[in-house]
Amino acid sequence: MRREPPRTLTDYGPLFFPAAMLTIFFVVPFGTMIAVSFFQRQQGGFYTPAFVWSNYERFLSAFFANVLGFSLMLSIAVAICCLVLALPFTYLLTRMSRRAQVLWLVGLLSILSLSEVITGFAWSTLFSRTAGITNLLVAIGIMDSPRALTPSLGAVLTGMVYQAFPYTVLVLYPALVRLDPTLTEAARTLGASPLRAFFNVVVPALRNTIVATLIMVFIFALGSYLLPQILGRPQHWTLSVLITDQAIYQSNMPFAAAMAVFLVLVTLALVALTLFLGRKGEAA
């Protein structure tokens, strides 16, 4: 089959559908958001179309820089925790019997069916003083008296890792299933312990998958706004929480949009940086 350059309008036909989807689901909403971020806020009311920088100016303060910094750090921590837990887990999962794999995957998928609210409440109960896991520790004599583990950074991290974990596994799973099992076996016959073989062979062979997974979980975690509220103290609130506050409770759409645009830009920059470093690392 020869590939000819498209000549008539119908030759471009196959492009219309993806282009339309991209426009409807990405370009239009994001464009609207950028536009609104420059609108003039009417205090106590709504906004009027304008082109002002004041929404961005308000954001450029030490206070919001701190919140943004915390959000990014939290999301990075969530991504790393998820990967560290999910990679060995998924690796072992792919080596189980077909039946066991299906059972685990169904279990993980059912976690996805839980809403963020339910997850948050379940964890806040588990971490509570009155009904939480510390009561178990007291019962078996490890602790003297039950303690509340929430609100705390650890609780936020746990909740968010729990929520992102199934996604992490589902992203890693296909790559690990396709991974040639003889690679690790070869490493073992060459003198590497199973653990060493995992780090020497599985991890580098999955390098691109791992980077993609980190980015996905990072972005996923960045959008989380319920769990930090339910499980954390105000200093653990992410930028997404403040964006929600502005958009929903203060009806300050321009400021919320400005914060969201800023967050998207910073995220894209970080992702680009990661990919750039990854490529450089590969070339070296």
Partner 1 sequence: MSGLVLKDISKRFGNFAAVSHVDLSVPHGTFVCMLGPSGCGKTTLLRMIAGLDEPSEGAILLDGADITPIPTHKRNLGMVFQSLALFPHLNVGENIAYPLRIRGIAKEDQKKRVDELLQMIHLQGYGERPVSKLSGGQRQRVAIARALALSPKLFLLDEPLSALDAKLREAMQVELRQLQQRLGITTIVVTHDQREAMTMADTVVVMNGGEIRQAASPVDIYRNPSDTFVADFIGSTNLLEISADSASRATFLGKPVAGLALPAGLAKASVSIRPEDVHLTAPGGDAIDGTITFIRDLGGTIETFVDVSGQSIVAVSTPRARPEVSVGQKVGVVLPHEACVVLKR
Partner 2 sequence: MDEIQNRVSRRAVLGAGVAGAAMLAMPSVLRAQDKSLKIGVYGGYFKDSFDKNIFPDFTKATGIAVESVAEPTGEAWLVQLEQAARAGQAPADVSMMSQVAMLKGQATDLWTPLDMAKIPNSGNLIDRFVNKYPDGRVAGIGAVAWYITLVTNTDTYKEAPDSWAAFWDKANEDKLGLLALVSNSFLLEVTAKTFFGGTDALSTEEGLLKAFDKLAEVKPNVRLWYRDEAQFEQALKSGEIPMGQYYHDVTGLAAADGNPVRSTFPKEGGIQDSGCWALSRASKKSEEAHIFINYMSQPTIQATLSRKVGTAPTVRRELLDLTDKEFSAVSSDIEPIIPRYDLYQSKSDWLNQKWTELIVG
Residues at the contact surface with partner 1, assessed by CB under 8 A: 180, 182-183, 185-194, 196-197, 200-201, 204-205, 207
**In the complex with partner 1, which residue's Cβ is closer, 11 or 180?**
180
Q: Which of 260, 232, 227 is nearest to 246 (CA)?
A: 260
State the helix-helix crossing angle for 153-178 and 207-222, rounded to 10 degrees.
Answer: 150
Q: Name the minimum Å distance from CB 79 to partner 2.
A: 23
Q: Name the minimum Å distance from CB 184 to partner 1.
A: 9
**Interstrand relation of 40-41 and 47-48 (parallel, antiparallel or unpaired):** antiparallel
If contact means CB under 5 to 8 A according to the sort of partner, which of partner 2, partner 1, none does residue 147 touch?
Answer: none
Query: Does the bond joining 151 to the residue before it have cis omega, within 30 degrees of 0?
Result: yes
**In the complex with partner 1, which residue's Cβ is closer, 68 or 201?**
201
Answer yes or no: are the C-beta atoms of 94 and 87 closer than 8 Å.
no
**In the complex with partner 1, which residue's Cβ is closer, 37 or 213?**
213
Look at residue 46 and give its three-state secondary structure. Answer: coil
* Stated length of the chain: 284
Q: Which tokens hold the place of 171?
A: 């992203």
**In the complex with partner 2, which residue's Cβ is closer, 23 or 235?**
235
If contact means CB under 5 to 8 A according to the sort of partner, which of partner 1, partner 2, none does residue 229 touch?
Answer: partner 2
Q: Name the minimum Å distance from CB 177 to partner 2.
A: 40
What's the rounded Cα separation, in Å, for the pair 138 and 7? 76
If contact means CB under 5 to 8 A according to the sort of partner, which of partner 2, partner 1, none does residue 135 touch?
Answer: none
Q: Name the minimum Å distance from CB 107 to partner 1.
A: 24
Q: Which of 14, 28, 33 is nearest to 254 (CA)?
A: 33
Q: Name the minimum Å distance from CB 119 to partner 2.
A: 13
If contact means CB under 5 to 8 A according to the sort of partner, which of partner 2, partner 1, none does residue 54 touch?
Answer: none
**In the complex with partner 2, which residue's Cβ is closer, 9 or 62?**
62
What's the rounded Cα separation, in Å, for the pair 198 and 231? 34
